[in-house]
Every structure is written in structure tokens, then in C-alpha cells.
A and B are shown apart, each in its own frame.
Chain A
Amino acid sequence: MPVEGATANGPLLAVSNLTKLFGSFAACNEINLQIDQGEIHALLGENGAGKSTLVKMLFGVLAPTGGEIVWQGRSVRIASPAAARKLGIGMVFQHFSLFEALTVAENIALSMDGNISLAKVAEEASRLSHAYGLPLDPKAHVADLSVGERQRIEIVRALLQNPRLIILDEPTSVLTPQEADRLFETLNKLKAEGRSVLYISHRLEEVQRICDRATVLRHGKVTGACDPKVETPASLARMMVGSDVAAVTAEGTSTKGDVQLEARHLSVSARTPFAVSLKNICLKVRAGEVLAIAGVAGNGQGELFDALSGEYPVADDAAVQIRQKPVGNRNINARRLMGAGFVPEERHGHAAVSAMPLSDNLVLARSRSDAKAFLGGCFLNIIRRDAVTTATKRISEAMDVRKSGEDPPAGSLSGGNLQKFIVGRELDRQPAVLIVNQPTWGVDAGAASRIRQALVDLAKAGSAVLVISQDLDEIFEVATEIAVISEGRLSDPYPARELSREKIGLLMGGMYGKTEGTGAVHAH
């Protein structure tokens, strides 16, 4: 389905000196960007570089403070997403806006401007989805669909408007490698029709693979425009980060000690209708070892963390063992007292209270495990501010936490710096067992490499480390053993050196453990 009315020459979209100020902070500072007809254009940058702000201005969600947007040679002001859609700009957000209880067709109909019958929407959606290799059943309920399928709904929703430009925000962050391959085919099809794609990512490998040109942002400014195919990952990374990123070395983590953390046939039923139940999970982490659990988001990672940390203790006491003692019934502080440390996925409102200063957030995780150091006054449990402040300073220095002021609120730190503090708060205790869920989710490359190195070093020093992560690059950097979680089931562990990305992809799709060969890859 080629695009009608394509103008012959000139860029499709030209942005000049586009600026967005939040107060005095420039999220986007005089951005220049050109997207031609029929190209896949990458927008590269770390978290907080201004990528999202830029595309929100292009899609009419935010109003620019200054600068100009030229669409097909005409200066435009995009006041709302509806206006953007009318111009021919479609967008697929990183976080989907779908109603789980409704069907695919109903969700699509909700986003359409004007009155169109549901049957017609279903028919059109089904036709488009097959034409672009994104099979979808319009009558399926969203709650029953995988994340990859949900993303297809969003893409089809954008395609129904017959857009000239489609903006995709970090589309592969929720996909298995196989699902990502399929998405890339679709993007190439769109390109062949003369449509343009603005592809936002921080994954260099896929940008090099599918994009024709790239614009790199850092701190709200354009720091480079290039052809990604002639660059190296290292040169792209340098444009993104501004300096070379230290490589993580996992050498010397091969010595294995006793089993420090173990799950024995751990099964947990789902707490809420949309949670995942854990099914018969067995894992062992020895001292000196990093076991990484890969998997697509929403396959039971959070639930596994809750059960292992003791935030939600389980009925079977023997199902979770820390240092070879059953702790399934014990709460999180009892497990901490046995030498375990925990880093949950969500920083704000779970690992830290945003409005509280760092020192309070230190007490949050260690009030019981370090009661001797941090509490006084006998039964009154008076918090010893001097000891807490000293420890906060020590952790901030050890992890190079950059902050404004001595003891600022956790919410004022950047994601990377707060995460360094949260990880450092556990490392400071030298835990025998450390369980980390998504250690570098939404963290800049510099902080991520520092955190990963710290996890590897902890294992080297003789602790057992369990890392739950969606980021395969991260997993290969830190892991000695890798297992994959899918729909609440955990695969057998494999030594990291023996496992290929393709194999992980198959396991992510639901082919776990020894059932290999009998079950097909989950029919997506």
C-alpha cells in the first residue's frame, strides 16, 4: 500500500532550533533534525538525553518553547496528538495505553477520531495487520495477549491513520529477539512504501542493523548526525555518553563455593488478576557466582523477587533457602539478618521514598540489619543521625553518587545516581546473598557499567548474586550462569559462555528446560 500524495522533493520533516524549557532546565536545546521520505531514522541517546521530550513535541503532547517544525515544506504548530495524526504523524509509545478488559478491536476503535463501526474497525485492523506481517485477532482480549502482541495493536492503531511518519519509542525493550526480528521486517516494509520511521533506541546493535541515518542526543543537544552503518558501536557510544564507557570485566568469577541461595519447587499463586503465578521454580546460586535470570517483562520477575526477598513470604518454609536454612515463612528483615541484601526494580516508592533524604532511605533498608549501628536509646529505638549520616557519606563516595547538597531528597537525584546509591546501600553491608531486579533499568551508561562491575566484584569477593534482568547485554556482561523465566516458569541454568542469544530467545518464548523439541515456540 504505497503512500498517496507524496511530495517529490525535500525532507518530510525538518526541525530547526527546537527548544523545550522546563523552568530554567532545557530538556531540548536548539535541536536540528531532518527526516527524509522513506528512511528509517534513529534517534539515539541515553535516558534523560531529551529523546522523549523531542518526540512529544513532534506528536503534539508538549508545546515547544522555541524553534520551528517544518512538515512537507510548511511551517506547522502541532497543538495536540489529534492534530499530529491529521498531519500524518503516528506514534507508538513505550508504555502502552490499552484497556486489558477490552478486545483488540475495541481498543483500536477507542483511539479513532470520528464514528466508525466496530465491525469495520475489526476488518480493517485485521487486513492491515496481515499485510504488514503483524497477525492479530481483533476479537482477542488484551489481557490474554503477550507484550509483543500488545505492541502490534499500538502499531496497527498508528497504521490505521495512514501516517507518513511513524515514531516508535524504544519498541524492542519489551520484545524477544525473534519478535524484534519480525518488527524489523515490518519496518522495512513501511520504508519500501515510502513511509518514514523515527526509531528511538539506545541499543546500538539494532540501530546499526536497520537505520539509514542516526541523530544522537546528549543533555538535550544534538551531538552527532551520522550513518550508523559506517560507525562502530564504540564510536556511537562515545557520541551518546560523551566519553568512553568502562567495559565490565567478569574475569575471575569462576570459583564456586557453597549454595547460598536456593529455591526448591517454589510455587506462588497470583496475588492479583493481572499478576503472574510462579510455577515450580528451582534455582541455586553458589558463593562466587552470578546467576542471571533473563526474560521479557511481565513473566513473573517481580513475583519471583517478592518471594525471594520475603516482602511476600511463601507458605512452604523450605521453598526458599538462604545459606542453607529454610526462610520461606520469614519476612524481609529476618532474611536481611541472615546476610541477604535486596534491590527491587522500581526505584521510586519501592526501593526509596522519593521525598525523603538519602540518609532516611538508608535507614529504610537497614533499620533492622544494622540496628546496632543505627539505633540507640534501648526500646525507644532512637535513630542515631550521626551514624546514619556517616554511612550515607561513605556509600555516596564509594559509589560516586553525584548529588546536590549533603543529603538531598532521593527524588532529586537522577535515575543513575539514585540507583548507584540503592545498590551501594546493600554493597556497604557486604551481603552474602544479593538479589537484584533490573539493576540498571533506565540508568545511564556510565552508572550502569559501574553498577554491573560492582555486582561482579561482589561475587568475586565470595557472595552469591542473583540478577533478574531484561537486558541481554547486561546479562552477558555479568553472568556466570543464565536461566530464563517465561510465564512464571524458570528454565534450567546454562553456563553463560555456552548460551547464544538465539537460544535465550527461544527460551524466552516459552521453550523451557528439557521440554525442548516437544513444544513449539509460543505461537505469536
Chain B
Amino acid sequence: MRIELEKRAKISALFSILSPFIAFLLTIIFGGIMFALLGKNPVTALYSFFVEPLSEVWSLHELAIKAAPLILIAVGLSVCFRSNNWNIGAEGQFIMGAIAGSTLPVVFYEWQSPLVLPLMMLMGMLGGALFAAIPAFLKAHMNTNEILTSLMLVYVAQLFLDWLVRGPWRNPGGMNFPETRTFAPDAILPELIASGRTHWGFAFAIIAAILVWFMMRYTLKGFEISVLGQSERAGRFAGFSSRRMIWFSMLLSGALAGLAGISEVSGAIQQLRPVISPGYGFTAIIVAFLGRLNPLGIIAAGLVLALTYLGGEAAQLSLGVSDKVTRVFQGLLLFFVLSCDTLIHYRIRLVWYRFTASDLDRSR
């Protein structure tokens, strides 16, 4: 017996829409089983994981703060993935964007002006884009696999940040803690609404999502992205250059990851530390796929994944389980999203050999 995946003749439109919801439901069921195995009551555990964080205003703000970088990065990644460029290094571009943008408030901390903040944002985008330019150059001109190069550069960025905050950029008045000086008020991204901490990063994310959605849906550029993603040869026939698309998609996603990085640092943390991201750059890959690579879907998916971060923290406090639960839920979710999508396109078939070549020999 063997198992075969057989392509379905027709893809169900209904299940294409339902797929992310089914995946989410399965995640909750298996998450419940996991809690039960840990000796917790699955119902109360799931309640404190998924519902409690939504019940108070301040925690809704936390949700928006965590969703903002996820959405910003995932929107950029969706362009990459649709054009068949696999940028796995958004985490590194996030960090480099944060570092580039922080140059002003850390090194030139004495300069105070309303221009500081917009400049920081621009430099953040530039930093992320330039860091993404490395795998872009290697792929476009050296035919290197961008999955490997972009992923490995994440560690370069993380260690570079670590070195900066422990070395040259360490706060002289900071009791030797590995941190930079805290940003001046001019360099801090203001809050969006009066009721809580949500800063402008969330607005950037929504605007970016809508702009990219418009580009993909209505413009020739969006068309070019999907053509090159589906068939490079057809793209060449259309006169589109896959090499230029490598540059475009990598630089765009790098810039958005960089913007996410500097927004997070300027809006939420307000200084540089050795670790500034709980893996936003990687989680955004899940967000991109859960949102079906559609920028509007990504907004919803970003909020769901942000909830797993909050839920992890809540579970740690109220249930006393490790906050690694967050990672488990994220992993489950990605697994079920991808498998639901696979089963929409393929059906599983068990093939039994009723009559084989050796049977034939025996019958002779």
C-alpha cells in the first residue's frame, strides 16, 4: 500500500475561504489536548489564552502593538512570496532597520527637531532595504539561494545589535546594562489614540496593507508580480524581468521590515536592547500564509498571531506554564494552515495493489 496525493479536478471555493478558519479551529482543539496532557483544564486554559487578553482595553492596545510589526513585515513578505522570492530573513531586516533608524536618537541625541522622527522612519526603511539588498544581489547576480542567505544574515544582524548595545552604543549613564540611552521625546513615535499605548506603527501597518493590496489588485506592477511568481518564462514573454523583480520584492519587504523595526523601537521599547523582537520576522511568515498572501487577510492574521503572544504571557501568569506555549500554538497554526491548503488542492488516495507483477509470476 502507498499513499498518493492526487490533484483535485476542481478546487472548492467554499473551502478555500474556510481553510484558515478550519486551521484555527484545529489549532484550538490540539492546543486543548496539549493543555489536558499538561494537567490543566483545557477549557479554562484556552479561555485564559485566547479570550482573556481581549477582555480589557489595555490588553487590546497590547494586541495592536504586537500586531503592527507582524502585519508590516508580512505585507512585504507577501509580495516576495507571490513573486517566488523566498525572503526568510525579515527578522534580520527588522533589526537592521531598528539600528539604522536609532542612529539619530542614540548617536546624535543632542539634535532635537520635529524632523528627527520622519528621518528615523526613512532611515529605518533604508536600513532594512539595504540589508535585504545583500541576498537580492546574491540571487540576482550570483544565482544564490535566497532562503539560505537571507536566513543566515539574521544571525549577523542579531549579533551586530548585541555588540552595539554592549559596546559602542551602551548608555554611559546606564549602570553598565547592555542598553542604549533612552530616546528623547522627539524620537518617540506618538500614541495613536488617547486610551492606551498603541502607537503610529499600527497605522503604518494598515496603510501599507491597503497600498500593497491596491497594487496587487489593480496595477500592472501587481500583475507582473503574480506572473513572475507563477512562470518566469511567461514573465519573460511579457517583457518582465525576473532579475528586477528580485530587487523590487526584496527591497520592498526589507524596507517594510525595517520600518517595523524602527517603529517597534521608537514606539514601544524607546531604546535599543540586545533583543528587540520576540521573533516577529519569523512569525510574520505564518501571518503571510494564514492571510493567504492577501494584504487584507494579513491584517486579520496579524491580529490572531499577536494574540498568541499575549496568550502565551497570560498562560505563563495564570496557569504557570512556560511561555513556549506561544511557539507551540504558532507552529500548530502554520502546520494546519499549510495542510488545509494542501488538502484543498489535493486529495489523499490509498493505493492498494490488488494484483502485482509477482502475483502474475505465481499464476503462471
Contacts and interface: CB of A to CB of B under 8 A. Distances in A.
Partners in one complex: yes
Contact-residue bracket for chain A:
35 or more
A349 interface: yes
A264 interface: no
Contacts of B227: 353, 356, 360, 364
B357 A82 contact: yes
Interface in B21-47: none
A380 B219 contact: yes
Contacts of B361: 86
Contacts of B237: 309, 311, 332, 342, 344, 350-351, 364-365
Contact of B238 (A79, A87, A364): A364
B218 A367 contact: no
B357 A367 contact: no
A349 B233 contact: yes
Interface in B1-21: 9
A71 to B, nearest CB: 11
A333 B354 CA distance: 56
Contacts of B9: 22-23, 25
A83 B357 contact: yes
A130 B16 CA distance: 59
A352 B227 CA distance: 9
A16 interface: no
A116 interface: no
B221 interface: yes
A383 interface: yes
Interface in B231-267: 231, 233-234, 236-239
A77 interface: yes
B356 A333 contact: no
Contacts, number: 85
A111 interface: no
Contact of B219 (A87, A356, A381): A381
A333 B239 contact: yes
A355 B239 CA distance: 19
Interface in B108-124: none
Interface residues of B, number: 24
Contacts of A23: 9
Nearest to A336: B239
A363 interface: yes
A83 B356 contact: yes
A423 to B, nearest CB: 14
A382 interface: yes
Contact of A77 (B220, B221, B230, B355): B355
Contacts of B220: 363, 367, 375, 381-383
Interface in B323-364: 353-357, 359-361
Given A311-B237, A351-B234, A367-B238, A382 B357 contact: no
Contacts of A336: 239
B226 interface: yes
A285 B226 CA distance: 36
Interface string A21-32: 011010000000
B231 A349 contact: yes
B82 to A, nearest CB: 12
A453 interface: no
A72 interface: no
Contacts of A360: 223, 227
Contacts of B218: 380, 382-383
24 contacts: A76-B360, A77-B354, A79-B353, A79-B354, A79-B356, A79-B359, A83-B357, A83-B360, A311-B237, A331-B239, A336-B239, A349-B231, A350-B231, A350-B237, A355-B230, A356-B230, A360-B223, A364-B238, A365-B237, A367-B223, A377-B219, A381-B219, A381-B221, A382-B218
Interface of B: 9, 218-221, 223, 226-227, 230-231, 233-234, 236-239, 353-357, 359-361
Which 8 A/B pairs are nearest by Cβ-Cβ distance?
A333-B239, A381-B220, A349-B231, A83-B357, A82-B357, A23-B9, A350-B233, A364-B238
